[in-house]
A and B are shown apart, each in its own frame.
Chain A
Amino acid sequence: NAGVTQTPKFQVLKTGQSMTLQCAQDMNHEYMSWYRQDPGMGLRLIHYSVGAGITDQGEVPNGYNVSRSTTEDFPLRLLSAAPSQTSVYFCASSYSHRESYEQYFGPGTRLTVT
């Protein structure tokens, strides 16, 4: 199993550009989520999905869109990049949405918006 994969690993964008961060998992996990990590802080939830076709907002959803057309893939779209979106982005998945299941994290995407 590859686990949770993310592409790209690094990205530099200009303000106003759009892009999609890719996330895929091969563990047939029901729950997938996107977090961002800023310096000196823990991870904060952007969007999550409890299954194909079902998505919802997390703590910091503004400026981001998601969709989940398959169990495996959960892309994150930045609509119009802003310097405040400079961060490290982690995709995570877990077997179930229930509280007893740990989330497995991808390696992260380091995004810089200039």
Chain B
Amino acid sequence: AQKITQTQPGMFVQEKEAVTLDCTYDTSDPSYGLFWYKQPSSGEMIFLIYQGSYDQQNATEGRYSLNFQKARKSANLVISASQLGDSAMYFCAMRDSGAGSYQLTFGKGTKLSVIP
């Protein structure tokens, strides 16, 4: 079973509008971290935002916020006031104990295109 599911292969958003990228996860560990990374066309992986499983409040970093619904096992990324530079692949990832590896498990990504 997939541990991270991103159901939107591609999304379009108008410049200056807000957009939500969906992510659901599956783990039996009580302690885990959820991460979002951005991968522009240049290829590097850029860390955007982190949410811990015990955090009471949703994480925010500038224009990025994470809508964390623990009971639904969902960790959606919200980008406010989209900019042309936001066009990229976005990956949701989870880090749990993973049988000792503490690896990041990635979803397949969502390609976001910002329209001027």
Which residues of chain A have a CB within 8 Å of any CB of chain B?
A: 31, 33, 35, 40-45, 48, 50, 56, 58-59, 88, 90, 92, 97-105, 107-108, 110
Contact B31 A99 (CB under 8 A): yes
Neighbouring B residues of A107 by C-beta, 8 Å: 43-44
Neighbouring A residues of B37 by C-beta, 8 Å: 105
Which A residue's beta carbon lies closest to that of B97? A99
Report the tally of A-B residue pairs with Cβ distances under 8 A.
71
Q: Which 3 A-B pairs have the closest CB atoms?
A: A42-B106, A105-B45, A97-B102
Interface size class of B (residues with CB under 8 A): 20 to 34
Q: How far is the CB of B110 from chain A (nearest CB, A)?
A: 11
Which A residue's beta carbon lies closest to that of B37? A105
Q: How far is the CB of B27 from chain A (nearest CB, A)?
A: 10
Which of B68-76, B79-87, B88-96 is found at the contact surface with chain A? B88-96
Within 8 A of A (CB), among B18-37: 29, 31-33, 35, 37
Contact B103 A33 (CB under 8 A): yes
Set B43, B93, B100: member contacting A42, Cβ < 8 A: B93
Instruction: Say whether B4 faces chain A, with CB atoms less than 8 Å apart.
Output: yes
